[in-house]
Amino acid sequence: MAKKIKSTVYKCTECGCTQPRWLGRCPQCGEWNTLEEAIVDPNSTAAAFGSPAAEKIKPVPLAQISPQENTRIQTGIEEFDRVLGGGAMKRSAILIGGEPGIGKSTLMIQACSKIHNNTKGKILYISGEESAGQIKGRADRIGLDTSGIEILCTMRLEDIKDALAALNPVFVIIDSIQTVYSVEAGIVPGTINQLKFCANELIGWVKERDSVLIMSAHITKEGTIAGPKSLEHMVDTVVSFERNDDEVRFLRAIKNRFGSVDELGIFAMTEKGLEGVGDPSTMFITKRSGPIPSGIANSCVFEGSRAFLVEIQALTVPAKASISRVYSDKIDSNRVARVAAVLEKKTGLKFSDQDLYVNVAGGVKLTESAIDSALAAALYSARTDVPLSQGNVIIGELSLAGEIRPVPRLKQRIKTARDLGFNQIAAPEKEDGAAKVSSVSELIKAVFGK
């Protein structure tokens, strides 16, 4: 296909009239010296969406630019807004990836319904995987109001462009971007060229309007978003949808230009769709009526601005064939091996001939260093078969020298533990009645006794 060549026209700043050459006076409105140079590029996004000419871009001083304020659209789903940084930023593109059946379409149709009720703006849901009847059936099943949602079932980019130009919606859903194709980039959807071309056209459209674009994406067997990595660079926010073995869903931001990537959204899949979990500690701490078993320790972690308690479970068994292994998918296995090595060095308890199994109740993944000391206590308890006391919470980072180091926001962690009824707290600093431990040896003595 021959490449289309750019051409230059002169556009009136008063009435928008275009002329092939410069004139001193606009022939349509009669104003003088209002014609300015503009570029007509048939390959550009503006031309594709019906704009006859784009004004020539000129640099402006950054000091004269006013920052955007109050430019977020609340989705009405608290956990979703938390992960996005307080809502979806206007003129932004969001990419959501997750395994099949996890609830991406359910989350987006719920957001569409709530956004229309809040803004009364036009909502466009574009589906390349499901029929309109399937989407309507899901919405009715979970009791959503769909009166303000426009549905378009197509895979052709050209049809999507026509619908965007006609409706000019405030919220656009593409489900999913891998199904969209353009005849200009071939006829097979999902190829690298198709993903780049179609995503670039759609992102270019939303950057020029006070709208939000959300694109769902397929993932690979490794759990990463399928397609070229440049797709994640093109959008403003990348969100990962994960789940554990139960009906719990975790929403994390991998990239966010308008907020933190430390926030965690927690949902429970119910018959009414995805519902946010307000107090996650109730999900990650096991309630027991009898004594606590060995190998169990609790800690308090921060995910963004929210603190909650987690239960770390450990098990040690003699290694098979004299080769010890670490089995841990919720906590990095290298961290587990490092904590076990420090315990073996400082307490004399042998772990090198043991297979180590580590799990986190509720299935949440933990990356914070504040869990190190609780992990050490759980491993020691599992190896000696001595349980910790009821109501224990252990907070602190463990160094290679065996020191228990302070962690950020310790007061808030201790307050969260006390509010939930946990009073046996060990921490690297003496705060609000918590027992101070400065080394792993002191931790073992404080938690298990002499």
Confidence of residue 56 (pLDDT cuts 50, 70, 90): low
pLDDT of residue 427 exceeding 80: yes
Query: Mean pLDDT over residues 359-376, rounded?
Result: 91
CATH T-level assignment (fold) for domain 72-278: Rossmann fold (3.40.50)
Residues 118 and 238: beta-carbon distance below 8 Å? no
Q: Dump pLDDT digits (tens) for 103-125.
A: 999 999 999 999 988 777 899 99
- Quote the CA–CA distance of 91 and 436 in Å, as a whole number: 50
Domain with CATH 3.40.50.300 in the chain: 72-278
Q: Which amino acid would we find at residue 127?
A: S
Measured in degrees and rounded to the nearest 5, phi and psi for residue 360 equal -120, 125
- In the chain, the percentage of residues whose pLDDT exceeds 90 is 50
Cα angle, residue 225 at apex, residues 180 and 203 outer, rounded to 5°: 45
Query: Going along 257-344, which residue ranges are E strands?
Result: 264-270, 273-276, 296-303, 306-318, 326-328
User: Options 3.40.50.10800, 3.90.1640.10, 3.30.230.10, 3.30.56.10; which CATH number does 283-448 get?
Assistant: 3.30.230.10
Question: How many H-runs (helices) and E-runs (strands) does the chain carry?
Answer: 12, 24
Average pLDDT taken over every residue of the chain: 87
- What pLDDT, in 10s, does the model give residues 331-365? 999 999 999 999 999 999 999 899 999 999 888 88
Looking at the DSSP bridge assignments, the partners of residue 284 are: none
pLDDT at position 106 is 93
> Above 90 in pLDDT, residue 439?
yes
Instruction: Say if residues 185 and 194 touch (Cβ distance below 8 Å).
Output: yes
Band of residue 317 on the pLDDT scale cut at 50, 70, 90 = very high
Decide if pLDDT at 7 tops 70: no
Residue 1 has pLDDT above 50, yes or no: no
What mean pLDDT do residues 213-238 have? 90
pTM, two decimals, is: 0.74
Question: Residue 266: pLDDT above 60?
Answer: yes
- Per residue in 73-99, pLDDT (tens digit) is 999 999 999 999 989 999 999 999 999
Least confident segment among 47-61, 113-127, 375-389: 47-61
CATH 3.30.230.10 residue spans of the chain: 283-448
Lowest mean pLDDT among 287-291, 308-312, 355-359: 287-291
Angle at the Cα of 447 from the Cα atoms of 442 and 449, rounded to 5 degrees: 80
pLDDT at 246 over 60: yes
Confidence of residue 2 (pLDDT cuts 50, 70, 90): very low
